[in-house]
Chain A
């Protein structure tokens, strides 16, 4: 998806208003931490992803936004819950923000521009943000265990809208046959192939594999708790 200049700016403005309050609490908003941290470990099995992480660290993003998108510098935007990151699918929105920075702001220290970075570097940084957002959001979704009671018919409708172009209920039913109920949520929202290292073997880079991975990445980043609860309620009925 491409976002127009204007809508990107509109999003930014909405956000700066939201975060203005947080800036005033700069002093108090610090997590308790002891000892030394390492932004680079654990070294990921996928070298492309590891390189993306290192690019994100090297340009200082990690210092303000946190390598895992948990804000380190009190003023920085929360990228884990940012509507701008949510609106970005192919790196276009994030790259645009990085090229221009956010000079108009109530923050003490505006978000700088990174206009001299190459397209590759920007793409690497966006890749890391999306991966990290997926991991962070996965952790959040796994935490709100059983809080929301799912609605079967809403789950069916969600499946038809978001999954059925690639999966039939029957194929999902057979995939989950051996999965224990306790593991079902994780299995559905973060299928194992999403954690595997992508292959560069051209014969295996089929359209289905590539779009499926991209689609599941986006789903993982953006599922709401209610969507997950509904989807699970529905999938349990077809198991």
Chain B
């Protein structure tokens, strides 16, 4: 598309109103002229990022990655924890068995060249967004070669860590990988207190963190609260081993997710603790409470809540 004066004027207005432009403007020249503002989500020294499944209305797929980037820019978020489903093709297609899809995924991970991940990184770089961590789930059945490829992918994406949802046994398997790729492994908790292998309590984190100095805690404050844990005490004691918090709200006793401020998680106190101690850990917004608003609007409300807390 070629821009004439009239359409440029409109686009510029659009940019001022925070409308994402990359759909409508194809030429690099036009883009340079009407580039949207670079996002900046460092608030009083505290880095705020997003676990982008918070855009509940945006299915996580590689095909939706460009919309994801537009939305992050629109919300002014400059850090992201990127789930592999935004990067890898979808293998689970109609008529394909779960096993066949897994096998294709494995082959894809083992054979995808570095240039692919570098180009994905560039998409985020160009928009002013840092991929803080790469989120991939592993199981006991994941072969070492595949884990190695995923850790290398994380490094190529510019991530500081690879994180996922798994328990102690899988974590033990991951010990060799972070140092090899010069990133950390993030341990992430849920609130399953019935499974001794699961990360859920301070004690289970301590077991995991003892496995390797390259392991760091991603304290999910929603789940920790739902598991009746004390987030503030945990951070006070373990902050040097905490890379990030997943910041959101839930009720205690395996309670439901709530909008920020309506549950039992001490969100404001956590943010102020990070700010006042100048801890380098990042606060990644993550929520599962439902909303009747659009994903962008809900993320903005949550982000504004945090900004107010840090003002």
Using a CB–CB cutoff of 8 Å, the interface residues on chain A facing chain B are 24-40, 54, 56-64, 101, 103-110, 112-116
Q: Which of B188-236 contact A (CB under 8 A)?
A: 190-195, 198, 223, 226
Residues on B with C-beta less than 8 A from A58 are 290-292
Among B2-10, B86-94, B113-121, the stretch that binds chain A is B86-94
B300 CB-CB contact with A under 8 Å: no
Residues on A with C-beta less than 8 A from B223 are 109
Whether the Cβ atoms of B102 and A40 lie closer than 8 Å is: no
Given A28-B98, A34-B63, A107-B192: A60 in contact with B255 (beta carbons within 8 A): no
Majority SS at the chain B contact face: loop
Majority SS at the chain A contact face: loop
Whether the Cβ atoms of A103 and B291 lie closer than 8 Å is: no
B278 CB-CB contact with A under 8 Å: no
Expressed in whole angstroms, the Cα–Cα distance for A205 and B292 within the complex equals 32
Rank and list the top 3 A-B pairs by shortest CB-CB distance, nearest first: A33-B59, A60-B290, A32-B90
Closest CB in chain B relative to A62 CB, distance in Å: 6
Q: List 19 A-B contacts (CB under 8 A).
A: A26-B137, A27-B105, A27-B137, A29-B92, A30-B90, A33-B63, A33-B64, A39-B57, A58-B290, A58-B292, A60-B257, A62-B290, A104-B194, A105-B194, A107-B192, A108-B165, A109-B192, A114-B255, A116-B256
Residues on B with C-beta less than 8 A from A106 are 195
B85 CB-CB contact with A under 8 Å: yes
Among B26-34, B39-47, B246-254, the stretch that binds chain A is B246-254
For A110, give the chain B residue with the smallest CB separation.
Answer: B192
Expressed in whole angstroms, the Cα–Cα distance for A27 and B63 within the complex equals 17
Given A32-B93, A36-B57, A112-B250: A64 in contact with B255 (beta carbons within 8 A): no
Whether the Cβ atoms of A57 and B290 lie closer than 8 Å is: yes
- Give how many A-B residue pairs fall within 8 Å (CB-CB): 121
Inter-chain pairs besides A27-B84, A33-B64, A105-B192, 9 sampled, C-beta below 8 Å: A30-B60, A32-B93, A35-B64, A39-B56, A60-B257, A103-B193, A107-B192, A109-B190, A116-B251
Whether the Cβ atoms of A112 and B257 lie closer than 8 Å is: yes
Q: Which of B40-97 contact A (CB under 8 A)?
A: 56-61, 63-64, 67, 84-85, 90-93
Per-position contact with A for B249-284: 1 when CB-CB < 8 Å, else 0?
011011111000000000000000000000000000
Which of the four size classes fits the interface of chain B? 35 or more
Given A32-B92, A57-B290: A101 in contact with B192 (beta carbons within 8 A): no
For A101, give the chain B residue with the smallest CB separation.
Answer: B254
Q: Which of B102-128 contact A (CB under 8 A)?
A: 102, 105
Whether the Cβ atoms of B61 and A33 lie closer than 8 Å is: yes
Closest CB in chain A relative to B263 CB, distance in Å: 10
Q: Which of A34, A57, A112 contacts B292 (CB 8 A)?
A: A57
For B290, give the chain A residue with the smallest CB separation.
Answer: A60
Expressed in whole angstroms, the Cα–Cα distance for A112 and B251 within the complex equals 9
For B223, give the chain A residue with the smallest CB separation.
Answer: A109
Expressed in whole angstroms, the Cα–Cα distance for A101 and B98 within the complex equals 28
Expressed in whole angstroms, the Cα–Cα distance for A134 and B295 within the complex equals 28
Whether the Cβ atoms of B226 and A28 lie closer than 8 Å is: no
B288 CB-CB contact with A under 8 Å: yes
Expressed in whole angstroms, the Cα–Cα distance for A26 and B98 within the complex equals 10
Closest CB in chain A relative to B56 CB, distance in Å: 5
Whether the Cβ atoms of A28 and B288 lie closer than 8 Å is: no
Residues on A with C-beta less than 8 A from B56 are 39, 62-63
Residues on B with C-beta less than 8 A from A27 are 84, 102, 105, 136-137
